Amino acid sequence: MIFSVENGHFGYGERKILQNISFSVKDSEVLTILGPNGVGKTTLLKCMMGLLPWNQGQTLLDGRSLNSMKPTEVWKRIAYVPQSKATALSYTAFEMVLMGRSARLGLFAQPTKKDYHIAEEAMEQVGITHLAHKHCSRISGGELQMVLIARALSTHPKMLVMDEPESNLDFKNQLIVLETIQRLSKEQGIASIVNTHYPAHALKIADKALLLDYHGGCRFGNVEEIVSEENMRKAFNVEVKILDYVHQNQAYKGVIPLSILPDISSYALPQTTVSHSA
């Protein structure tokens, strides 16, 4: 599967939020979306999935415009994991995961034994079977995030779209979420698009990166090309140092913020040429 956006523009009236957005991701690839607060990362997710209409441009799924596809056809292939928030709903974790099967059921259909089995498998995949009977209102933010990922997996998607899945989590739960995304991509061939505030997380799990700037434009390419000291400095107004290090024969990259720079919000990142067949 190839998911792509071509020349996407979005705004409200004269207020331009996203301009000339182009990128692509295919099976087994992880694409991370980065940028300062307020540049439209969540808006981009909504536009690319058809939840908000592009003012100009289009989203393509295997060369077909999303506008030409029925919503049920789209949501059988794409699963969305929103930012997790504390919930007062009294659903158990298993019931929440089972709800993900609704994308595969008819309007008035009831879950079958097969649906129950798939929900159980999804919880096993992300290691949360011990939460099955716990209420979502009584589990931690990290646990709830994993429940939402399992719910998305229960649809058997070709692509996961995640909005800041590791935000507000401690180190351990951040690693659990990141390693789960990476494992699902490499072992099951699931493409993933992940909004994140953490350049180091992008370098850890991503194949590609999309960096949004203050003008609504973007820079897209291989993650190590995009998450560079120069691009981070220009995008975030922060002097950073990217360090390479090895631990137990495994290579890692660290991103260290050093100092805040003078305001350069008027700077626009240079556009790159995008090949959607990549």
pLDDT tens profile 178-222 = 998 999 999 999 999 999 999 999 999 999 999 998 877 799 999
Q: Which helix (H) or strand (E) holds 149?
A: helix 141-153
Tokens at 65, concatenated = 């415009």
Instruction: For the chain, give the mean pLDDT.
Output: 89
Q: Which two tokens mark 177?
A: 């979420």
* CATH class for the region spanning 2-77+157-260: alpha beta
pLDDT at 13 > cutoff 50 = yes
Which 8-state DSSP code applies to residue 63? T
What is the share, in percent, of the chain residues with pLDDT greater than 70? Answer: 91
Contact at 8 Å (CB) between 122 and 153? yes
**Statement: residue 109 has pLDDT above 80:** no
Spell out the alpha helix ranges (H) of 161-238. Answer: 171-188, 199-205, 223-226, 229-236
Phi, psi of 245 (to 5 degrees): -150, 160
Six-digit token string for 139: 């589990």
* 86 burial via Cβ count (<10 Å: 0-12, 13-18, 19+): exposed
Answer whether residue 265 shows pLDDT above 70: no
* Residue 102 three-state SS: helix
Alpha carbon 66 to chain centroid, angstroms: 18
Angular region, 7: left φ>0, alpha ψ -120 to 50, beta rest: left
Distance separating alpha carbons of residues 22 and 6, to the nearest angstrom: 5
**Per-residue pLDDT tens over the stretch 48-58:** 999 999 999 99
Give the residues across from 193 on adjacent strands. Answer: 31, 161
- The mean pLDDT of 258-277, rounded to a whole number, is 64
Position 165 pLDDT exceeds 80: yes
pLDDT of 273 higher than 60 = no
pTM value > 0.85 = yes
